[in-house]
Structure 1
Amino acid sequence: MQELEIVREKIQNKYRVVKTDEDLGWNRAIYLCTNIINAHLSRGNTPEFTRSSRDNDGWIPVDERLPEKNEYFVETSSDKDFPNGYYKRLEVAYMTDIIEYVHGYYDGYKWMDKYLDTIENVVAWRIHEPYRPERSNDAKE
């Protein structure tokens, strides 16, 4: 993560005084790059997270750590007495006679499938991210 922080600092020093449309476009590009870096940095600065995501394609063993509340729940109201929100979809690996995979949810206490039935013997999880065609195009180049 230190490399990304260094890159972010260097990029933020590249803003231009806007005199032309080209300068405005340049500043927008700097802004977008900074936001992308910030998004990657906010995914987690813990050594466990960075090691797991690098070594195991984002899968995090449950014996290393469980999802934090901001990773599994999105609050849609600011009322602390009656919080409203929804659970984020996670990818869950669990053990039967083999390791199986399912989209599921975590509520801070237990793992659940889409029918809200409990998932037993969870061994790993990762944040579900939708398919992004622009990522596969970048990989080809």
Structure 2
Amino acid sequence: MRQVTIADFKIQTTIVVQWGEMDAYQHVNNVNYVRWGETARVDYFRAMGFIINQEPKKMLYAPILGFQSVKYIAPVVYPDTIVIGTKTDAIKDDRFVLKSYFFSTQQNRLVAIQTHEVVIVDYNKQQKIAIPQAILDEIHQIED
């Protein structure tokens, strides 16, 4: 099986590790991976054409995080730069699953993988809906 590299991703996010992100164990605290993953997820949403910070009443629907998990592979320390590649891993009737792969430029390796399960919410009805065809089209345009 071929190893995943950052070149495998059309959507990439670069994060410069800050000194203050390290914890008492002298490595980046795990909560920062969640924050970095959120930035990567928003970059993916923007590539799909979603306008971030738009007033909800003006949107028909929007992507909302329904579940997330992070697999930590290797610790990161300051100074470093993390490049995150994000792609759609699965599409289901009521959600799509993004995977973000965190690569350390200092270590030249994969250091974490985040899974984001994204549901689509109809803001007017305040409920989850099936994935609209327009979103499926955007995903396919990014991934194909």
Please report the TM-score for the alignment, with normalisation by the length of structure 2: 0.30
From the two aligned structures, give the one with the greater helix fraction.
1
Please report the TM-score for the alignment, with normalisation by the length of structure 1: 0.30
Structure with the greater relative contact order (CA < 8 A, sep ≥ 6): 1 or 2? Answer: 2
Which structure: larger Rg?
A: 1
From the two aligned structures, give the one with the greater strand fraction.
2
